[in-house]
Amino acid sequence: MPTEILMPALSPTMEEGKLAKWLVKEGQAIKPGDIIAEIETDKATMEVEAVDEGKVAKLLVSEGTEGVKVNTPIALLDGEGAGASPSPRASASPASAPTARGEGPPKASAPSASAPRPLPADVRGEAMAGAETASQTMREALRDAMAEEMRRDKDVFLMGEEVAQYQGAYKVSQGLLDEFGPRRVIDTPITEQGFAGIGVGAGMAGLKPIVEFMTWNFAMQAIDQIINSAAKTLYMSGGQLGCPIVFRGPNGAAARVAAQHSQCFSAWYAHIPGLKVVAPSNPADAKGLLKAAIRDPNPVLVLENEILYGSSGPVPKGEWIVPIGKARIARTGSHVTIVSFSRGMHYALEAAAELARNGIEAEVIDLRSLRPLDLDTIIASVKKTNRLVTVEEAWPVCSVGSEICAQVAMQAFDYLDAPPVKISGADVPMPYAANLERLALPSSAQVVEAVKSVLYV
């Protein structure tokens, strides 16, 4: 009985890929460990190894086919002589075992709410109106932001784990080593506290480092350098010694990587005077905010999002800077104000689209910057709509949403027609199981319900 070889998922966020090349022919005998095919995603090319022994009975997907969904049968293996291992699923695995640090933490089995989707049209900024744009992924937009700023200023350099030769654990720094060389694109050892401190020291000495954390989870090793050294020195020196540095990397929930690799640090850093914190939701903002961050003379933290790296959107051509500290009204509406950032914007906009079908027009505000927080835009909107829902993936206690609810209560209490509602991640460490993980994260359905509750409908 033939065994199906399935299209493997090579990363937690992969939903489909290109079957780039077959390395075996029909009729060929293979054994476990043989490399049978090459698969390309937007991040990388990976080799697929055979898991079972047998003869290739049929290649079901031809070479060069794009958009092959994960778990699609791509070949049949004749089980004759293969022993009794008729494993119909998972007959292939990526050759290079993903690690907890690499671009492939344990692979996603279920296409949960984690896949990069094209952005709703209205994620695009009003500020872009009229500008000529090109579609890019967030990953490409971030890369271009760094490349442009490195061309512009010789003092800008990038350091971090796997940023150079590996081209970035999440492929954000792809091509930078080739263009700028090892002096300016520097692979570090896995020592977050050490290289964060070296970055801060270099910044104090006048360079403009971009320090990439493979993920913000690992930056907890370095949080002392970020807060005690980078954020405070200007103040402690009476204004003499600043630190123009950018710390960046993916933040927030990833997919199926469990508690230590899946969490949002927005509130942690938004709490700290002396820092600026941005969290883009779309490629245009990612590019514009990162460029602004690199030019800023202060320490700026860019909280990116792994799930969004592969999402595409229009990015203005040419010089494009998004000012730090300015929120964007992503969608205008008069019935309710929804405030969110980063991936939360996707739940918010999906919910807004659903609500619009029922005649409820939500105003959706993308914070873009978490520190400084653009309270003026939020308050003005709440004064118009009289209702507030905040959406974020982070834990609920002392979150960005908590701060917004508090500020609105203090500054616009008389304008509220209902108590604000805060949608957040569940107040638990991130579980691994797919169903529990879904329950731990917010959803557009929750946002829809929250809006209905503040509208009493």
Per-residue interface string for the shown chain with another protein, residues 102-141, x marking contact by CB under 8 A: ----------------------------------------
Taking the complex as a whole, the smallest distance from the CB of residue 196 to another protein amounts, in Å, to 7
Total site size for another protein, rule CB under 8 A: 44
Please report whether residue 165 would count as binding another protein according to CB under 8 A.
no
What does each C-alpha distance from 203 to 192, 232, 277, 278, 450 come to in angstroms?
A: 16, 13, 17, 19, 44
Please report whether residue 188 would count as binding another protein according to CB under 8 A.
yes
Please report whether residue 191 would count as binding another protein according to CB under 8 A.
yes
Beta-bridge mates of residue 76:
4, 58
Please report whether residue 297 would count as binding another protein according to CB under 8 A.
yes
Taking the complex as a whole, the smallest distance from the CB of residue 324 to another protein amounts, in Å, to 7
Q: Pick between residue 198 and residue 416 the one whose CB is nearest to another protein.
A: 198
Backbone angles phi and psi of 280, in degrees to 5: -70, 150
Cβ-contact 422, 405 below 8 angstroms: yes
Please report whether residue 319 would count as binding another protein according to CB under 8 A.
no
Taking the complex as a whole, the smallest distance from the CB of residue 128 to another protein amounts, in Å, to 21
Cβ-contact 388, 421 below 8 angstroms: yes
**Near another protein by CB under 8 A, which window of 86-94, 127-135, 239-247, 333-341?**
239-247
Q: Pick between residue 264 and residue 275 the one whose CB is nearest to another protein.
A: 275
Q: Pick between residue 183 and residue 357 the one whose CB is nearest to another protein.
A: 183
Q: Is 261 a catalytic residue?
A: yes
User: Cα separation of 200 and 168, whole Å?
Assistant: 21
Q: Pick between residue 220 and residue 426 the one whose CB is nearest to another protein.
A: 220
Q: Pick between residue 231 and residue 257 the one whose CB is nearest to another protein.
A: 231
Tell which one of 41, 174, 215, 229 touches another protein (CB under 8 A): 229
Q: Pick between residue 273 and residue 359 the one whose CB is nearest to another protein.
A: 273
Tell which one of 81, 238, 318, 359 touches another protein (CB under 8 A): 238
Return all residues near 345 (Cβ < 8 A) that are at least 6 apart.
123, 281, 282, 330, 364, 366, 391
Tell which one of 189, 318, 359, 456 touches another protein (CB under 8 A): 189
Q: Which of 15, 148, 261, 437 is catalytic?
A: 261
Q: Pick between residue 87 and residue 228 the one whose CB is nearest to another protein.
A: 228
Please report whether residue 151 would count as binding another protein according to CB under 8 A.
no
Number of Cβ within a 10 Å radius of residue 332: 13
DSSP secondary structure string for all residues of 196-243? HHHHHHHHHTT-EEEEE-SSTTGGGGGHHIIIIIIITHHHHTTTS---
Tokens 């020196």, residue?
A: 237
Backbone angles phi and psi of 5, in degrees to 5: -100, 125
Please report whether residue 410 would count as binding another protein according to CB under 8 A.
no
C-alpha closest to that of 138 among 42, 214, 211: 42
Q: Which of 103, 192, 212, 306 is catalytic?
A: 192
User: Cα separation of 185 and 57, whole Å?
Assistant: 47
Taking the complex as a whole, the smallest distance from the CB of residue 11 to another protein amounts, in Å, to 28
Tell which one of 32, 33, 206, 419 touches another protein (CB under 8 A): 206
C-alpha closest to that of 269 among 277, 279, 280: 277
Reduced to 3 DSSP states, what percent helix, strand and coil does the chain have, rounded to the nearest 5?
A: 30, 25, 45
Cβ-contact 123, 281 below 8 angstroms: yes
The DSSP call for residue 252 is B
Cβ-contact 311, 284 below 8 angstroms: no
DSSP secondary structure string for all residues of 37-56? EEEE-SS-EEEEEE-S-EEE
Q: Pick between residue 120 and residue 242 the one whose CB is nearest to another protein.
A: 242
SS3 call for 444 = helix
Tell which one of 120, 160, 242, 425 touches another protein (CB under 8 A): 242
Tell which one of 78, 296, 354, 449 touches another protein (CB under 8 A): 296
Residue-wise burial string across 188-214, b where 16 or more C-beta atoms lie within 10 A, e elsewhere: beeebbebbbbbbebbbeebbbbbbbb
Return all residues near 320 (Cβ < 8 A) that are at least 6 apart.
131, 284, 287, 288, 291
Q: Is 40 a catalytic residue?
A: no
Tell which one of 196, 308, 405, 451 touches another protein (CB under 8 A): 196
Please report whether residue 181 would count as binding another protein according to CB under 8 A.
no
The DSSP call for residue 8 is P
Tell which one of 22, 170, 180, 195 touches another protein (CB under 8 A): 195
**Near another protein by CB under 8 A, which window of 94-102, 105-113, 127-135, 238-246?**
238-246
Taking the complex as a whole, the smallest distance from the CB of residue 99 to another protein amounts, in Å, to 20
Q: Decide the pairing of beta strands 54-59 and 29-30.
A: antiparallel
Binding site for another protein (CB under 8 A): 157, 183, 186, 188-189, 191, 193-207, 224-225, 228-229, 233-242, 273-274, 276, 292, 295-298, 324
- Residues serving a catalytic function are 192, 261
